[in-house]
Structure 1
C-alpha cells in the first residue's frame, strides 16, 4: 500500500504529466493560429462538466476570488500557453516553465512565509540549469513572442499557485476547480471574439478529438488533482512537480515528432528530475495541513 504522502505526490504529478502532452496535441490535432479558441474550448467545457458533477456555486467573497484565480491559473495562462505552443517547438515552449519553482519558492517565502531553504534554492537552480541545457541545445528557431508568452504564462501560473495556497479551498477540489475553469473560460471568450473570432471553417473530427482530450484529461481531471495537491503540499513542492511537464513534452517531441535530442539535453533532463527528487525527499515535501478556509479530504 502506498503511504498517504506517496499517493498524494503521485496523483498531483499526474497533472503536469498530462500537461506535458499539450504541446504535441496542439501541433498534431488542433487548427493553426487559433490559440484563444484552444484555451476557451479547453476551459469552458471542462468547467461545465465539473460544475454539473459537483452542483455547487461559490459564496460570498469566493465569487471574486474564483475570478482572480481563474484568470491567473486558467484564462491568462491558457492564452499564453497556446501562443507559446504555436510559436515554439514543444520542448522549448514547455521548458521555459522550468523557472517556475524558483518563482513560486520566492513568492511563497514572502506571501505564505514558507521557509526558503538552501535545498530548495539549490534544487531550483539545478532545475533551471537543466532547463537551460535542454533549451540551448534545441535545434529550432526561438521566436521572441513565443518566449515572452511562455515566460508570462509561467509568472501567471506561479502567482496562481501561491494565491490558491494562501486563500485555501472553501469546497472540495471538484467545485473550486469548476469555478476557476468557468471564470477563466468566460474571461477568454470575449477576448477570443474580439481578436481571433470564430473559425472560418468547421472543426474537423481530428480537431474535436484534440480539444476533447485537452478538456477532459488535460484540464478537468488534471486540475482537480493539481488543486488537491496545492491544498495539501507546500507551494514550492507542487511547483517542482510541475517540472515533469517539460520533461514529458520534450520526450514526446523526440519519440513522436522526431525532434532531435542530444546527449546534453539528456543530461539536462536528468538534472531536472534530480532537482524534483531533491525537494520531494526533503522534510519540506511532507503534506501540510490545509490552509485556513480549505476543506480537508479523507486520507487514503
Structure 2
C-alpha cells in the first residue's frame, strides 16, 4: 500500500533496511509471478488465479490477527469501507492487472501502475476542492505523459486485445488509487493487518463471483503456475506485507515510500532477465517520465505535511 505521511525522524536500523529490501524485491517481482501464472497454457484463468490467491492470503492474515490478539470484529461502518475498498483494490486494482498481463509485458504493467500516486494526488486535490500547486500540475502532466509514451506502441498496434489490455492497466491504477483514497478518508477501527485480511477476503469473494459468472473453467495449473501462485500468496501478500508494516515502524516513512520508485525498475529487469521481455526506448522514456511525475507528487505531499506540522505546532504554542 502507498503511504504519504511524513513523521518524526526515526533511526535507520539494519532490521528496517532488511525489511525494506524485502519489499523492494518481492513486490517488484509480483508482476513477473502474475505473468507466469496466467500466461497461455498455465492452466489458470485470471479471475480464479486472483481470487484463490487473496482468499487464501486473507484467511492466513486473519488467523495471524487472531493469534496476535488483535480485534477482528468490524463494526457496520468498517464493514462498508472494507467491502468497497476490497473491491476497488483487488478487483479493480489487481484483477485488471491480472487480466491484462495475459497480453502485455509484466514490466510495462508495473510502470503504468507506478503512476498510482499521481492519481491519488489528483483525487485528493479534487475532493479537497483546492487549487493544485504548479509543482502538482507539472507532476501530473509529466506523469500522465509517461503513461501515454509507455502505451503508444500498444495503442497504435491496431490489435484490439493489446489496446484493451493497456487500457485495463490504466483503469487498474485508477481503481487502486480510489481504494487508497477511500480507506485513508474513511479509516477503520481495525489493525492494518486485519483490515488487509478483510479487504482480500471480500476481494476474493468478488473474484469468485466474477469467475463463476464468466464461466471460467476450474483451474488445472501447471507446476510452474502453482509455484507462481504460491509465491504471490506467501511472499507477495503475507511475507512482504509483514515486512512493509515492520519497515514503517523501523524507518522514516519517506524512506519506506521509495519502494514506489524501485519496484517498477525491478519488475522491468526481472521481466527482461527471465521472460526476455524487451526494454525499448518507449519503455525507458515513458518509465522515466512516470518516475519524475511520482517524485514531484511526493515532494508536494512532503511539503504539505511539513506545513501541517508547523501549523499544528503553532496552534499548540498559542494554546499554551
Q: Calculate the TM-score normalised by the size of structure 2.
A: 0.72
Quick one: which of 44, 66, 73 aligns to 2:89?
Answer: 73
The residue aligned with 1:61 is: 77
Aligned counterparts of 2:124 and 2:197: Cα–Cα separation in 1: 25
Aligned counterparts of 2:294 and 2:21: Cα–Cα separation in 1: 11
Q: Which runs of 4+ in 1 moved over 4 A?
A: 5-17, 112-115, 137-142, 221-224, 240-245, 285-289
Quick one: which of 99, 105, 123 aligns to 2:139?
Answer: 123
Q: Taking structure 1 as reference, are residues 272 and 258 closer, same or farther at Cα in structure 2, changes over 3 Å only?
A: same
Counterpart secondary structure, 1:87 = coil
| Residue deviations 1:49-75 (CA, integer Å, cap 9, x gap) | 000010212123212221111111113
- Please show how residues 218-237 of structure 1 align to structure 2 within 5 Å: 218-222=236-240, 225=244
The residue aligned with 2:176 is: 157
Conservation of the 8 A alpha-carbon contact between 1:241 and 1:276: no
Counterpart secondary structure, 2:121 = helix
The more displaced of 180-189 and 6-15 is 6-15
Conservation of the 8 A alpha-carbon contact between 2:87 and 2:206: yes
The residue aligned with 1:49 is: 60
Structure 1 residue ranges without an equivalent (≥5): 290-300
Aligned counterparts of 2:85 and 2:11: Cα–Cα separation in 1: 26
Matched, 1:110 2:118: no
- Please show how residues 167-206 of structure 1 align to structure 2 within 5 Å: 167-199=186-218, 201=220, 203-206=221-224
Aligned counterparts of 2:122 and 2:174: Cα–Cα separation in 1: 12
Larger Rg: 2
The residue aligned with 2:279 is: 261
Which structure has more relative contact order (CA 8 Å, sep 6+)? It is: 2
Aligned counterparts of 1:258 and 1:23: Cα–Cα separation in 2: 14
The residue aligned with 1:209 is: 227
Q: Taking structure 1 as reference, are residues 222 and 10 closer, same or farther at Cα in structure 2, changes over 3 Å only?
A: same
Q: Calculate the TM-score normalised by the size of structure 1.
A: 0.76
Conservation of the 8 A alpha-carbon contact between 1:95 and 1:135: no
Conservation of the 8 A alpha-carbon contact between 2:28 and 2:267: yes
Counterpart secondary structure, 1:143 = helix
Matched, 1:37 2:48: yes
Q: Taking structure 1 as reference, are residues 210 and 162 closer, same or farther at Cα in structure 2, changes over 3 Å only?
A: same
Aligned counterparts of 1:183 and 1:200: Cα–Cα separation in 2: 20
Aligned counterparts of 2:129 and 2:51: Cα–Cα separation in 1: 34
Counterpart secondary structure, 2:89 = helix
Q: Taking structure 1 as reference, are residues 221 and 200 closer, same or farther at Cα in structure 2, changes over 3 Å only?
A: closer
The residue aligned with 1:247 is: 265
The residue aligned with 2:290 is: 272
Offset of 1:95 from its aligned partner? 3.0
* Alignment root-mean-square deviation, CA: 3.9
Structure 2 residue ranges without an equivalent (≥5): 1-7, 67-71, 310-320
